[in-house]
Amino acid sequence: MKKLMIVAAAAALFAGCQKEAERFGYKGADLQDDDKMFFTTGPGVTNWVPARVLSVCEAYPVSAEETALVAAAGVITPSESFEKVPDGYAKSVEEPWFVTWTKEAENFGRKGVNGFISHFNEDKKVWETSETYFSSYHKDEASALAALADLRKTVGEKFSPKRFHDFDRCWVAEYLRLRVMCLVGQKGDGTWSCMLDIQDKNRPGCGQWEPVPAQEERLAEYTYRKAFAAWKEAKKRTLDENHAVVEKLREKRGVPLFGEGARAFESEDGRLATLATGVFAADATSDRAAIWGERVKAVEEATGVKISDEPAVQELPSGYVVWGAGASDEIYEVRIDVAFPPPAAAGEEAAEGEGAPETEPASGEWRALCFERLQPGFALPPRPQPPKFDR
């Protein structure tokens, strides 16, 4: 009975959390209060809250209280993008990926600094932002904690958060759209700060700040992706122009190439290529040299390339025997392979009489590959190499 009472109490507690999310106005996946997320305010300090407090899936409208709080804090609208940084701000910290902008300000009756984190999007030519903040500075911890408590009182009385989540030297005011956090910390010079940090829970903007090594990796990956995209364009342009020259030479020589059923594709080294395949009837008595000569002649007529070398012979574990050879001229490199089926086992006799199983006749396969050669004056650009990190 005691166990059942504990289970019932836990269910009631969960239902209460569910009702709280619904009462606040959350929808969809944001109603799952059992999903938890954490934020840190210092080494080894982990503060857990319902996931909806820090991030939401639904795009809730910004309420009048949230808009008023942003104005009172003197900050820019978080996650907005700007072609030009708002007047009054100057670069405070410039890092590999992020740039922090600040300006002196006075909000909530205290002097301090307004700031925001940004990243310049080179493709869109805009400054993307994410979290934005107002910080006041104090000579000792007690003064900073007093500012923390005073801000909590002001926010609670004037800007109607859904609820507060309180932690050591920190609180979070919960709204549907904005994540509003205030925390106290000590600076490197020994003074203390009280920072009110505001972020859009639905729009990541330029993303959360990361340590410099992570930013360096992010920048290197971005630079590589951009170089790779440029390389693909340059390679395609070269191959298209080379193909036009090859086609003129082919038409001039009257070379038909392969007909219907052939497939054009891009080879591993980037060159344009054509593949033709087929099958032929064969058994243990087939004249392999004659079949090989027939296929070689067809490839020579299709490509104009003479294949004079004797074929290399390879025996496969399956019993098939493959004859292959390659050759080239000024415009094409070709490769032909003919696979002959294994001969019947020695002494094997065909089944006769009624009820004997029907057997498929043996067949061989052939494949012809034709690669366009790069013509004089054409060269493929070197492929950029992905960055390497010490992890």
Q: Give me the residue spans of the domains in the chain.
A: 36-209, 235-343+362-372
Q: What is the 3-state secondary structure (H, E, C) of the chain?
A: CHHHHHHHHHHHHHHHHHHHHHHHCCCHHHHCCCCEEEEEEECCEEEEEEHHHHCCCCCCCCCHHHHHHHHHHCCCCCCCEECCCCCCCEEEEECCCCEEEEEEEEECCEEEEEEEEEEEECCCCEEEEEEEEEEEEECCHHHHHHHHHHHHHHHHHHCCCCEEEEECCEEEEECCCEEEEEEEEECCCCCEEEEEEEEECCCCCCCCCCCHHHHHHHHHHHHHHHHHHHHHHHHHHHHHHHHHHHHHHHHHHCCCCCCCCCEEEECCCCCEEEEEEEEEECCCCCCHHHHHHHHHHHHHHHHCCCCCCCCEEEECCCCCEEEEEEEECCCEEEEEEEEECCCCCCCCCCCCCCCCCCCCCCEEEEEEEEEECCCCCCCCCCCCCCCCCCC
The predicted pLDDT at position 12 comes to 40
pLDDT per position as a tens digit, 15-51: 444 588 999 999 998 997 677 888 877 776 788 899 9
Q: Would the pLDDT of 313 be above 90?
A: yes
> Mean pLDDT, to the nearest integer, of 151-178?
97
The predicted pLDDT at position 10 comes to 37
- Is the CB of residue 119 less than 8 Å from the CB of residue 206? yes
Q: Would the pLDDT of 312 be above 60?
A: yes
pLDDT band at 6 (very low <50, low <70, confident <90, very high): very low
Residue of 249 and 342 predicted with greater confidence: 249
pLDDT per position as a tens digit, 347-381: 344 444 455 455 566 789 999 999 999 999 999 99
The predicted pLDDT at position 3 comes to 39
pTM: 0.74
- Give domain 235-343+362-372's CATH architecture: 3-Layer(aba) Sandwich (3.40)
> Mean pLDDT, to the nearest integer, of 220-228?
97
The predicted pLDDT at position 38 comes to 81
> Mean pLDDT, to the nearest integer, of 336-346?
78
Q: Report the alpha-carbon distance of residue 296 to residue 302 in Å, rounded.
A: 10
Q: Would the pLDDT of 329 be above 70?
A: yes
